[in-house]
Amino acid sequence: MGKVERIVFLSLVLDLFAFTIPLPLFPRIIEWYTVREISDPDGLLSRTLRLVSAVRGVFYKPPQNSQRWDVVLLGGLMGSAFSTLQFLVSPHIGSLSDKYGRRNVLLTTMIGNILSALIWIQSTTFASYMLSRVIGGLSEGNVQLATAILSDVSTPANRSKALAHVGIAFAICFCIGPPIGAYFASRPVPPSVGALEMELNIYAAPALLTLVLLIAETLFLVVALPETRDSRPEKHSNNDPSEFLVDKKSTTASVARSVQERTELLRVLRKLHFLFLGVFSGVEFTLTFLTFDLFDWNNKQNGALIGSIGVISALLQGGYVRRSISKVGEGKMAQRGVMSCGLGLVLLAILPHFVSTQPKIAVGLLQAAAVCLAFTSATVVSSLTSYASLQCHEGFDKDTGKPAIAHPELAKGKALGEFRSSGQLGRAIGPLLACASYWTFGPSVTYVVSAIAMLTLSASMKPVAVLPRRSS
């Protein structure tokens, strides 16, 4: 691992650690605001819950505890709102990083993240908490800029290995962030310090931990991270540097074909990213509904299930994916992950038929499905991201030594920002559609339809899987 790769990986761990801390707290946060604002029927939370209840009533009417379901759904809507903001802002963050530099834009987004945490600490109303989430959604640029930075300092041959660090950081933090967030949530912060009286959010302790992590990440980036926008790949690469030199005398027709091929492939990859995450994020969101409905699992058991998926995913990322992807190819690796997801969904679809008669088989099917989903988590997004980055222009002008961009659409920041944006749109839509299907038709139908969608998507990826890693 090169120096810049280590810096990016450590910053991602800090960033994603902070990002995952509040994930298990959303339902309890909403319940706290509900108690505080129950006497205000015209408040933002009351009006939002009425809207959620009306929408839920169109699809499904639970026999009891309907408010509990509304709170859970509202938590999902908050996640969808965050993803929608990322969908809107990601292309702009990428374009700004092409113009002003990755480091400068990354540090600017960190200011927004810190502001979001500060507002969360003092958010005693639902409206102020949503303001915190909006600022956070508009400011979260670490993942996509980390991808661009790793693409700047890696060659096409080692690109996938470099970008695997993003997936490993995700897997690690999704294992440790939520339980630590839950632990600090049980340690309330005193409302006053000395003579200073201040009312704080009930979960100010995890919010303070988030703030500390974000400040530490920002200071670390200020001190350690160099600008990489115009840099050549690091010297530890085994590739011949001449592969990055662009001859100005290259024929216009050849360049045009290369640009056309790459931009078209980027368009296809964005579409695949959107469709995959649209289905997969719905599966992620409804998995805890399934364990709640069929097994009556508590938060600890659900946490163990999600944590095991994260552990297996991290092991696969660090072991199998990093070592095999250069031989298998990004497209084929992503296709295998999508197929694995389809298989896992088939197992989830047949699981309900064994719960009442053979519960041990049902739990075994759930565990097998979890392994399939872990393989999917370890392979698809990182492979598609790497594949997209390989379509960006890698050349350096022979005369000036500076990056030679063949076409604006192939600039790394812009291209990777649009790629991430497509996935975030899938994450915004998927959970809502999955919940509507789950409540209306039940888990078996929902997972059968999702499995068919995944297997169809896997089959459609065959032309992409057999393409060469680079278009030129």
User: 396-397 and 245-246 as β-strands: parallel, antiparallel, unpaired?
Assistant: parallel
> What would the mean pLDDT of 61-65 be, rounded to a whole number?
56
d(CA 434, CA 102): 36
Q: How far is CA 266 from CA 29, 131, 164, 332, 385, in A?
A: 40, 34, 20, 16, 10
Q: Is 28 exposed, middle or buried (0-12, 13-18, 19+ CB in 10 A)?
A: middle
Q: What is the pLDDT of residue 406?
A: 54
| 470, β-bridge pairs | none
Nearest to 313 by CA among 352, 284, 291: 284
User: Which one has a higher pLDDT value, 229 or 129?
Assistant: 129
User: Which one has a higher pLDDT value, 131 or 167?
Assistant: 131
228 CA to centre of own chain: 23
Q: What is the pLDDT of residue 78?
A: 82
Answer for the pair 119, 131: CB distance below 8 angstroms, yes or no.
Answer: yes
| Ordered alpha helix ranges (H), 101-158 | 102-121, 126-139, 142-152
Decide: helix, strand or coil at residue 15.
helix
> What would the mean pLDDT of 272-282 be, rounded to a whole number?
95
Q: What is the pLDDT of residue 54?
A: 78
| Ordered alpha helix ranges (H), 245-329 | 252-295, 299-316, 322-328
Answer for the pair 10, 225: CB distance below 8 angstroms, yes or no.
Answer: no
Query: What's the mean per-residue pLDDT of the chain?
Result: 83
The answer to whether residue 136 scores a pLDDT higher than 90 is: yes
Structure tokens belonging to residue 133: 């989430």
Nearest to 70 by CA among 47, 49, 91: 49
The answer to whether residue 237 scores a pLDDT higher than 50 is: no
Domains observed in the chain = 3-52+59-227+254-465 (1.20.1250.20)
117 CA to centre of own chain: 19
Q: Is 286 exposed, middle or buried (0-12, 13-18, 19+ CB in 10 A)?
A: buried
Regarding pTM above 0.85, the answer is no
Which of 157-166, 244-253, 403-412 has the largest mean confidence? Answer: 157-166
d(CA 36, CA 212): 28
Predicted confidence band at 79 (pLDDT cuts at 50, 70, 90)? confident
Predicted confidence band at 254 (pLDDT cuts at 50, 70, 90)? very low
Answer for the pair 280, 341: CB distance below 8 angstroms, yes or no.
Answer: yes
> What would the mean pLDDT of 279-300 be, rounded to a whole number?
82
The DSSP-derived string for 153-202 is TS-TTTHHHHHHHHHHHHHHHHHHHHHHHHHHHTSPPPSEETTEE----T
| Ordered alpha helix ranges (H), 351-442 | 359-390, 412-441
Q: What is the pLDDT of residue 241?
A: 44
d(CA 447, CA 434): 9
Q: What is the pLDDT of residue 75?
A: 73
The answer to whether residue 250 scores a pLDDT higher than 60 is: no
H helices, E strands: number in the chain? 17, 4
The answer to whether residue 123 scores a pLDDT higher than 80 is: yes
Predicted confidence band at 40 (pLDDT cuts at 50, 70, 90)? confident
DSSP state of 403: B
pLDDT in tens, 191-208: 655 555 677 888 899 999
How many percent of the chain have pLDDT more than 70?
Answer: 84
Q: What is the pLDDT of residue 268?
A: 94
> What would the mean pLDDT of 51-61 be, rounded to a whole number?
71
d(CA 417, CA 148): 9
* C-beta neighbour count of 197 within 10 angstroms: 8
Q: Is 186 exposed, middle or buried (0-12, 13-18, 19+ CB in 10 A)?
A: exposed
